Chain A
């Protein structure tokens, strides 16, 4: 469908992000006949997302706080270009309720949930309490911010060790630490609190019971314009390093039909509890021993790993975001989504494949794999420079197969065929992962990467 056939859909969208996600959002925007406006920092002027946009506006220096996090600069760019809507991608300002509010105040369409829903889910303590009220299972944890190390110990003794120390305003795995006893907790609390201040501008900490062997399973939801909330499937994101995802797949090999049904129902309740509109993700942990799940957090935006859901459902999630933001119906029959086959995503990072340390640098060679069921969402090309200013995600390699075995075998072939020279990448690690007995068996948990790279 095209914008001129849908009078409500805006004729231009400013994409307030960079790299692969800015490019991926622009692809859908342009396919729908809508003008895609890019904004970029000085460090990103040569990247594909800038070159491929219909119009591109420089918004400041490399440092994110002066460019991609600079709400004034982005709203200024929107005003100058006559943009009618803003898509925030993920990260940066995507879950900033004040920014969403300012976009709406400026008379633009905000392609995301209401600022209130962002706020309700943004504070993890508040979100936990809200979910418990809505009948969504939560782990044993603190219902109020932990005040100091002494308060942390009192809480942990009530909850039971081991506990996870988390930033209430956090995300992306930053500042999360596990503590097995009082001493570890006291040390971990101070570190977590100072990191939370630095990265999120809020030192608030919560504690939650740590599940030793667990899978990270999340549910993609869509809040429709008519108020319904639907679940579109789960993604297993248990392959992580430093609490950050490396690979994701759907369906989860650890979730059976009965558990899936209960998780979908809980995710829908979570969305309903905040009158959710648009694409969102309810993240849960599934205890490998008991098979029970608990709510972890809700991400009120498009998720990095959304393509695996697109590959099995055939639904373009960015297109649905645009339609819903405009009050229109989604492009598919909400009651009859039948996922087909199996999809896997490998995050290609600029980091060494052994210690996972950052490896910025100039890209001298870049050759993407292709073939049946292979999709690459890339942020870079040959000749680009990967700088130290942003996260290390270079590209996402996504594969689809009729079953898990075929998806894994295609993933291995595609990862082996992906040529990137210049920065070190974790592609050799991905080959080890998809060919490991543990990952291939499907019976893995959040420690799988540590076992492969002790």
Chain B
């Protein structure tokens, strides 16, 4: 199981992947926006997206859970 967490305070701009999706290493799961920059959050290995913990418009803090891949 891989937990993917936010590296910084950011707004969730786009949720790209959905729970149940099969993802490959490096696939974009979510696009965050912080300080006028888009930051793609990528799958850190292949698997199934078991949980998407954020929705569009949410604010994430550093260390917050974004997604779980199993």
User: Do A and B truly interact?
Assistant: yes
- CA–CA, A388 to B8, complex, Å? 9
- CB under 8 Å from chain A, chain B span 26-68: 33-37, 39, 59, 62
Produce 1/0 per residue, B1-37, CB < 8 A to A. 0000001111100000000000000000000011111
Residue of A nearest to B62 (CB): A361
The answer to whether A360 and B7 have CB atoms under 8 Å apart is: no
Partner of B8, one of A174, A357, A390: A357
CB-defined contacts of B35 to chain A, threshold 8 Å: 350-351, 358, 360, 388, 390-392
A350 to B62, CA, bound (A): 15
B side interface size, CB within 8 A: 13
CA A360 – CA B34 in complex, angstroms? Answer: 8
Q: How far is the CB of B44 from chain A (nearest CB, A)?
A: 16
Contact B8 A359 (CB under 8 A): yes
Q: For B11, list chain A residues within 8 Å (CB).
A: 388
Is A240 close to B, CB under 8 A? Answer: no
Residues of A within 8 A of B9 (CB): 360-361, 387-388
Which of A350, A358, A359 has most B Cβ within 10 Å? A358
Q: Is the interface of A mostly helix, strand, loop or mixed?
A: loop
By a CB distance below 8 angstroms, the chain B residues around A357 are 7-8, 37, 39
Name A373-416 residues within 8 Å CB distance of B.
Answer: 387-388, 390-392
A242–B38 CA distance with the chains assembled, in angstroms = 12
Complex Cα spacing A391 to B33, Å: 11
**B33 proximity list for chain A (CB < 8 A):** 388
Q: Which residues 343-373 of A sit at the B interface, judged by CB distance below 8 A?
A: 350-351, 357-361
Docked complex Cα distance between A358 and B9 (Å):
9
Q: Which residues of B contact A391 (CB under 8 A)?
A: 35-36
Measured CB to CB, the closest approach of chain B to A426, in angstroms, equals 12
Q: Using Cβ atoms and an 8 Å threshold, which residues of chain A touch B59?
A: 388
For A358, the chain B residues whose CB sits under 8 A away are 8, 10, 34-35, 37, 39
B36 touching A390, Cβ below 8 Å? yes
How far is B33's CA from A357's CA once the two chains are assembled, in angstroms? Answer: 11
CB-nearest residue of chain B relative to A195? B38
Q: Output the nearest chain B residue to A355 by Cβ-Cβ distance.
A: B7
* CA–CA, A388 and B58, complex, Å: 13
Inside 8 A of B10's CB, which chain A residues have their CB? 358, 388
List 27 A–B pairs whose Cβ atoms lie within 8 Å, in order of A's numbering.
A172-B36, A242-B37, A351-B35, A357-B7, A357-B8, A357-B39, A358-B8, A358-B34, A358-B39, A359-B8, A360-B8, A360-B9, A360-B34, A360-B35, A361-B9, A361-B62, A388-B8, A388-B10, A388-B33, A388-B34, A388-B35, A388-B59, A390-B35, A390-B36, A391-B35, A392-B36, A392-B37
Interface residues of B (CB under 8 A from A): 7-11, 33-37, 39, 59, 62
**Closest CB pairs A-B (n = 6):** A358-B35, A388-B34, A358-B34, A392-B35, A360-B9, A388-B9
